[in-house]
Amino acid sequence: MKRILAGFSILLIALQAQDAVNPPMLRAMLAELERSKQIRLMGLAPYYIEYDVEDQESTSIQASLGGIVNARQSINRVPIVGVRVGSPEMDQTNQIFAGIYSGSRYDSDSLPLDDNLDLIRQNLWLATDRTYKSAVESMSAKQQILKGTNVTDPQPDFWKSDAVVNITNSTRNKIDLEAWKSRTAQISKVFLDFPEVLASSAEFDALSSMSHHVNSEGTKIRMPDYLTTMRIRATGQAEDGTVLRDAGGFMSYEDAKMAPVAEMEKSARAIAENVKALVKAPIGESYTGPVLFEPQAAAQLFGQLLGDNVRNPRRPLSDPGRNVPFQPSEFDGKLSSRILPDSFDVIDDPTLTSYEGHTLMGNYYIDTESVRPKPVQLIEKGALKAFLRTRQPMKGFTESTGHARLAGSFGHKSATIGNLFIKSRDTKPFSELKNQFVELLKQRNKPYGILVRKMDYPSSGSVGDLQALFASHQQSGSTTRPLAPLVLVYKVYAADGREELIRNVRLKNVSARTLRDILGASSEVAKFDFVNNNAPFALMGWAGYLAPATIVAPGVLFEEMEIDRIQDQTVKPPVTAAPALR
């Protein structure tokens, strides 16, 4: 008996040692990866294979007026398989049919919750088979396109990257559901004091994940990934039927490091006060002239005008004359051109973890293409110097910057910002910048100017609200892409500097080109955190890939901007009085 027990102990120690090097999930992934390298169909072998498995525990709580509306916790394992055929010089990507598969699907969207290696490998095998056949179909479609298309200055399809190995044996954080239900309900209760608020909510989300990644280049990763958010929203309606809203949020990597509940309640009360003021505010008028952005609003503006344009995907191949749903960067073809005034520099640095004592949410260890991120000098002395890059080759550059963080189109990942720093060497206190703004109004005989304190970015509206916004923007005659709605906008009177809150106005004909018209920047800066995703205006609560980001920016004064009065149709207010909430 002792000899059997001793033998079992030796086996157990060997298994534990093996788990420390390659935990069970990684063992299954690596085994199936090696087997998948032998696939051959129509003479096309995979030259690159990657497996991602997210072992997730998610918690979601929604409360309104002190009551819990929804609360749930779930555990799942989500597999993502990538296969490239051909070669890095030319594979099946970067064409309009990339990723399209016409056959049947047998693999599952999720893996078993226990470490059943046989079942895990079975699912990975089926997913690999489907993805490989899709790649072969896409490659055939690409070859057909190339037969009838003359490609000038062709680029390779994939950059190589060094292998990364990082295996940690920690476990997922556990979220206390009951404790967060109580806190979320407490925050939502603030709105009971505001009958002007027709709808409100506090929404807590926590994602505790163990990420596994292997690829055919030798990368092996097992490491934790966390994100905790609290979103606070409120909606009101003016007498003319205009729907008005405000929102705010808090973020942390771990729920234990979230802001105190008292601070969140304070934010909820400020949001309620804003909605209360907005429903009583007068309607603004169309305006063209100087516009002043406070630091938070400036960070939100830079997030849209810079954040969405410092990535520059390639136009996909297509049949001649075919309409392709593709939108290039506004900075396409503008390397070395002036984007901002000479005093401005812009850097994106995902390697930094903190700034002046504050945690930076845009820090991450590795991107979704297994590349370690690097700091990127995007703009220097006002001129565009580089783009954020993925492993999709870009003319003029030789490697990825490790910024592939979102799902992309046509077989490629999409780059996005991490920690974006907008800096100016010529600043003054915001109070002096505001004085400059008022003097400029007087010089131009403007009775008032426009000050923007807050934008609805990320958007707190619904998908329907965004559809209506895009339709209205198209009808307005604006020649540029729409920007997120303005929330807190003020007339600043030149005579005495008095501020008056207004509503029903939006930015018109504002684009990345407008950034060259900045006259000045404040010495005060805002640190603005948000969750980037593939939704327009980073729509709050949008599922899928999530890329936390931080923007650090000063307040800015624009020499001239266009403000348009919104004249959309409105919804009639409720015909009966609201109940007495208290």
DSSP label at residue 178: H
pLDDT tens track for 29-61: 999 999 999 888 777 899 999 999 999 999 999
More confident residue, 554 or 475: 554
Report if residue 19 sits inside a domain.
no
Both 307 and 271 in one domain: the answer is no
Closest-CA residue to 161 (of 299, 328, 367, 458)? 367
Tokens standing for residue 117: 């290696």
Give the phi and the psi of residue 446 in degrees, each rounded to 5: -90, 125
* 345/314 Cα distance (integer angstroms): 25
Res. 10 pLDDT band, cuts 50 70 90: very low
CATH of the domain at 201: 3.30.2290.10
What are residue 526's DSSP bridge partners?
A: 553
Both 261 and 373 in one domain: the answer is no
Report if residue 98 sits inside a domain.
yes
At residue 535, does pLDDT exceed 60?
Answer: yes
Both 129 and 81 in one domain: the answer is yes
At residue 435, does pLDDT exceed 90?
Answer: yes
Instruction: Give the 3-state secondary structure of residue 295.
Output: helix
Report if residue 260 sits inside a domain.
yes
pLDDT tens track for 162-199: 999 999 987 777 899 999 999 999 999 999 999 999 99
Both 293 and 242 in one domain: the answer is no
Measured from the Cβ of residue 192, the count of other Cβ atoms closer than 10 Å reads 14
pLDDT tens track for 209-260: 999 999 999 999 999 999 999 999 999 999 999 999 999 999 999 899 999 9
On whether the CB atoms of residues 576 and 551 are closer than 8 A, the answer is no
Write the DSSP string, 3-43: HHHHHHHHHHHHHHHHHHHS-HHHHHHHHHHHHHTT--BTT
Instruction: Please report, for residues 47, 234, 470, 535, the alpha-carbon distance to residue 230 in angstroms, rounded to integers and kept in the order given.
Output: 43, 14, 27, 19
Report if residue 319 sits inside a domain.
no
Both 215 and 296 in one domain: the answer is no
Both 136 and 261 in one domain: the answer is yes
Residue range(s) defining the domain that contains residue 193:
25-279
Mean local confidence (pLDDT), 257-277: 97
DSSP label at residue 109: S
pTM beyond cutoff 0.85: yes
pLDDT of residue 479: 77
Least confident of 96-110, 338-352, 407-421, 479-493: 96-110
Both 116 and 216 in one domain: the answer is yes
Using a pLDDT cut of 70, give the percent of the chain over it.
96
Both 115 and 160 in one domain: the answer is yes
Report if residue 340 sits inside a domain.
yes
Res. 266 pLDDT band, cuts 50 70 90: very high
pLDDT tens track for 491-527: 999 999 999 999 999 999 999 999 999 999 999 999 9
Amino acid at 548: P
Both 301 and 246 in one domain: the answer is no
Both 373 and 425 in one domain: the answer is yes
Write the DSSP string, 523-559: EEEEEEEEEE-SSGGG-TT--S--EEEEEEEEEEEEE
Report if residue 491 sits inside a domain.
yes
Res. 4 pLDDT band, cuts 50 70 90: very low
Report if residue 227 sits inside a domain.
yes
The answer for residues whose C-beta is within 8 angstroms of residue 494's C-beta and 6 or more apart is 438, 441, 442, 446, 447, 448, 449
What are residue 60's DSSP bridge partners?
A: 72, 205
Report if residue 546 sits inside a domain.
yes
Both 239 and 296 in one domain: the answer is no
* 126/442 Cα distance (integer angstroms): 70
pLDDT of residue 67: 97
Res. 441 pLDDT band, cuts 50 70 90: very high
Both 179 and 262 in one domain: the answer is yes
At residue 320, does pLDDT exceed 90?
Answer: no
Give the phi and the psi of residue 250 in degrees, each rounded to 5: -130, 145
Number of domains in the chain: 2
